[in-house]
């Protein structure tokens, strides 16, 4: 059973001198295989910072606290080591990489994460099946990664990578934002497919809309750089009706 444990995580951006600004102020969170957690919070609450800090983006500096995956110190790992250890971050804004085709990229990633190159034929079959299930035109395989993709196409490709890399814990950073309802359904089906399996899911979102399609086991309200309330799916319904207001105040007073 894979377990991602985050304990008292403090994270700053900036260079540590007077320019540094603390964004995460003591995050505690445990995600186990097969569980789906929703992290919900208003803009600027630090949700995305949490996602990037877990993935190891160089812009964010962990000042204290721990992150472990099955007891292994994630913070001591490089970005690629974290991915190979079983962490996955679906990005809010996937970058365009000119000249690197989707299939070449996927094959390199699959090879890195599985530790050996898949046979070309099997890989092609696997990729095609995964693309089919996300209603991605197979012609995308030969296109440059994310280049000229619409917002929805980029998000589908994030889920495609997720399905092929089969991580232990996946962090989805606002994967639902910018999607129309059809795309949201396709992406949600994808999330449900791996959430029902061995993967732990940390779904970061601003809106409750995706929670109509993806049922979280736990909901965490995130404001002011920490978790201020926790509950079951009913908490999402409350947020839908009442908004973040009372939690924002709570976050500020902490």
Partner 1 sequence: MGLDTKPLSTLHEKASYDVGDFEVPTGREEEWRFTPLRRLRGLHKGTAEDGGKVLVEVDAAPEVTVETVGRDDPRLGRAYVPADRVSAQAWNSFTEATVVTVPKEAVASAPTVLRLRGEDASAAAYGHTTVVVEPFAEATVVLAHRGSATYADNVEFVVGDGARLSVISLQDWADDAVHVSHQHARLGRDARFVSHNISLGGDVVRISPSVAYAEPGGDAELYGVYFVDGGQHLEHRLLVDHTVPHCRSRVDYRGALQDQDAHAVWIGDVIIRAEAEGTDTYELNRNLVLTDGTRVDSVPNLEILTGEVAGAGHASASGRLDDEHLFYLQARGITFDEARRMVVRGFLGQLVERIEVAEVRDKVREAIEEELDLGAGRR
Residues 6+ apart with CB under 8 A from 12: 20, 21, 22, 23, 60, 61, 63
166 binds partner 1 (CB under 8 A): no
d(CA 254, CA 73): 28
Closest CB 252 distance from partner 1, rounded Å: 32
d(CA 180, CA 90): 18
Choose the stretch contacting partner 1; rule: CB under 8 A; options: 31-39, 83-91, 192-200, 245-253.
Answer: 83-91
Choose the stretch contacting partner 1; rule: CB under 8 A; options: 27-35, 40-48, 53-61, 195-203.
Answer: 53-61
DSSP-based three-state secondary structure for 178: coil
Residues 6+ apart with CB under 8 A from 125: none
Cite the DSSP H helix spans in 115-180.
120-133, 151-165
Answer for which of 78, 120, 121, 148 binds partner 1 (CB under 8 A) is 78
Answer for which of 5, 13, 28, 57 binds partner 1 (CB under 8 A) is 57
148 binds partner 1 (CB under 8 A): no
Tell me the CA distances in angstroms from 2 to 34, 80, 164, 169, 185, one per residue in order.
9, 19, 18, 8, 27
Binding mask 93-112 for partner 1 (x = CB under 8 A): -xx-xxxx---xx--xx--x
DSSP-based three-state secondary structure for 104: helix
Choose the stretch contacting partner 1; rule: CB under 8 A; options: 92-100, 117-125, 198-206, 216-224.
Answer: 92-100
76 binds partner 1 (CB under 8 A): no
144 binds partner 1 (CB under 8 A): yes
Closest CB 1 distance from partner 1, rounded Å: 22
Length of the chain, in residues: 254
Contact residues toward partner 1 (CB under 8 A) are 55-58, 78-80, 82-84, 88-89, 91, 94-95, 97-100, 104-105, 108-109, 112-113, 144, 161, 165
């Amino acid at each position: 059973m894979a377990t991602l444990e985050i304990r008292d995580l403090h994270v700053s951006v900036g260079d540590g001198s007077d320019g540094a600004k603390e964004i995460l102020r003591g995050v505690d969170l445990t995600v186990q295989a097969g569980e789906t957690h929703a992290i919900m919070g208003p803009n600027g609450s630090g949700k995305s910072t949490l996602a990037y800090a877990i993935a190891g983006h160089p812009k964010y500096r962990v000042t204290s606290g721990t992150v472990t995956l099955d007891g292994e110190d994630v913070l001591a790992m490089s970005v690629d080591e974290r991915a190979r250890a079983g962490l996955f971050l679906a990005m809010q804004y996937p970058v365009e990489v000119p000249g690197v085709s989707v299939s070449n990229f996927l094959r390199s990633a699959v090879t890195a994460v599985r530790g050996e190159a898949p046979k070309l034929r099997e890989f092609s079959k696997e990729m095609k099946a995964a693309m089919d299930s996300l209603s991605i035109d197979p012609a995308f395989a030969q296109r440059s990664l994310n280049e000229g993709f619409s917002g929805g196409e980029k998000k589908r490709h994030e889920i495609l990578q997720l399905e092929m890399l089969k991580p232990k814990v996946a962090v989805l950073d606002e994967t639902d934002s910018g999607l129309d309802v059809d795309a949201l359904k396709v992406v949600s089906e994808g999330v449900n497919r791996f959430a029902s399996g061995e993967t732990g899911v940390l779904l970061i979102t601003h809106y409750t809309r995706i929670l109509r399609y993806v049922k979280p086991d736990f909901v965490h309200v995130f404001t002011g750089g920490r978790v201020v309330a926790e509950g079951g799916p009913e908490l999402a319904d409350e947020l839908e009706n009442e908004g973040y207001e009372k939690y924002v105040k709570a976050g500020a007073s902490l």
